[in-house]
Amino acid sequence: MDSHRVHASPIITGLPSSERPPRLESADEPLAREQVKPKPTRPAAFPKSKIKILLLDGVHQNAVDMFLKEGYQVETHLKISEADLIAKARDVHAIGVRSRSQINQRVLDAAERLLAVGCFCIGTDQTDLMAAEKQGVSVFNAPFSNTRSVAEMIIAEIICLARQLCDRSMELHRGKWNKLSKNCWELRGKVLGLVGYGHVGSQVSVLAESMGMQVIYYDTVSKLPLGNANPVDSLEDLLKRSDFVSLHVPLTPQTENMMGSAEIAQMKQGAYLLNASRGTVVDIPALASALRSGHLGGAAVDVFPSEPANNADGWISELQGCPNTILTPHIGGSTEEAQGKIGVEVAAKIIKLINSG
């Protein structure tokens, strides 16, 4: 720490004790005692210019700009190996990630000065929360900022599945003209079953109703329905009644493979399954089998049990080549609007912690 006084910067109380100046009574506090003591010398503040922020996975420029405006040092990497991440984590005060880089026990053990991990996304699956808690590292995320983006994608996929638009498009790209109406449907009057009625599920509910769909939902927690949506008592009841089933659940031991062979078999003949929640929620081989057999009329999957570390890596799945199946590379929240809002929300939380504790 520099020994000279820096009166222009506020005292940063969120730093580790090894780098935090000793706290003294503020000269601005009203004195409760009758005897007036000389005003103490204000301790030297830890310069903001020495705060180091490491941002990975293409965190939005909004966040970068906010950190730079505070005077922090900011280093960005689109992709990084775990070994390099561990090396760089040793002297940083905050790390920001999206869904690619993993902040595990090894990274946290190396990050001796770390105050915060910013998950610039809805969830915190990429961070070892228990290890972070034990080491006193705060973890921030943005649970609401990309809700609309995910909900709009689900509605778009429902329309595409109902009309088999993606298959027709691919056929034309290959030079095949295949005009047909068999097994193509309007959405009006169809039943949409939402498994999970949280931030995203409830927004999908509102949008679907505006298109004339009937909405039912199942959630383990009692939720106030929006519009004319109705709760059902069990997952089995929802699966049997729905023309479209859309999954919006968190990653927990209870939701792992919650849609397996038995559950998929309970769905209507020709129904559609959509998953933009967590990759481990659906048994992928079971889904592929139901699609190839014709039991399901189609599916849209945005998340997978195993996802590439970067765009240059290859990817293989049993779902490739299945009829009327939309596969997207975890882009539910990948819009300019969503990423911009996430950048602002998470960066603001980290800045508040560093500057004010």
Question: What crossing angle do the helices spanning 336-356 and 147-163 adopt, rounded to 10°?
Answer: 160
Angle 334-339-345 from CA coordinates, rounded to 5°:
145
Single out the catalytic residue among 23, 307, 318, 336.
307
- Identify whether the C-beta of residue 217 lies closer than 8 Å to the C-beta of residue 223: yes
pLDDT, position 45 = 63
Residue 326 clears pLDDT 90, i.e. is over it: yes
User: Is a pLDDT exceeding 90 seen at residue 4?
Assistant: no
pTM for the full model?
Answer: 0.80
Which of 60, 93, 148, 278 is catalytic? The answer is 278
Q: Is the pLDDT of residue 35 over 80?
A: no
Give yes or no for a contact between 180 and 233, defined as CB atoms under 8 angstroms apart: no
Rounded distance between C-alpha atoms, residue 8 and residue 47, angstroms: 9
pLDDT over 80 at 12, yes or no: no
Q: What is the pLDDT of residues 194-242, one digit of tens each?
A: 999 999 999 999 999 999 999 999 999 999 999 999 999 999 999 999 9
Which pLDDT tens digit goes with each residue over 132-182?
Answer: 999 999 999 998 899 999 999 999 999 999 999 999 999 999 999 999 999
Is 330 an annotated catalytic residue? yes
3-class SS of residue 52: strand
Which of the residues 148, 168, 248, 330 is marked catalytic? 330
pLDDT at 254 over 90: yes
Average pLDDT of the chain is: 89
Q: Per mean pLDDT, which range of 5-9, 36-40, 48-52, 151-155 is the poorest?
A: 5-9
pLDDT tens digit sequence for 259-305 = 999 999 999 999 999 999 999 999 999 999 999 999 999 999 999 99
Give yes or no: 278 in active site: yes
Q: Is the pLDDT score of 31 beyond 90?
A: no
Phi, psi angle pair for 247, to nearest 5°: -100, 130
**What span, in angstroms and rounded, lies between the C-alpha atoms of 318 and 57?**
27
Euclidean distance between CA atoms 22 and 44, whole angstroms: 9
pLDDT for 207: 98
| Interior angle at CA 326, CA 320 and CA 328, nearest 5 | 90
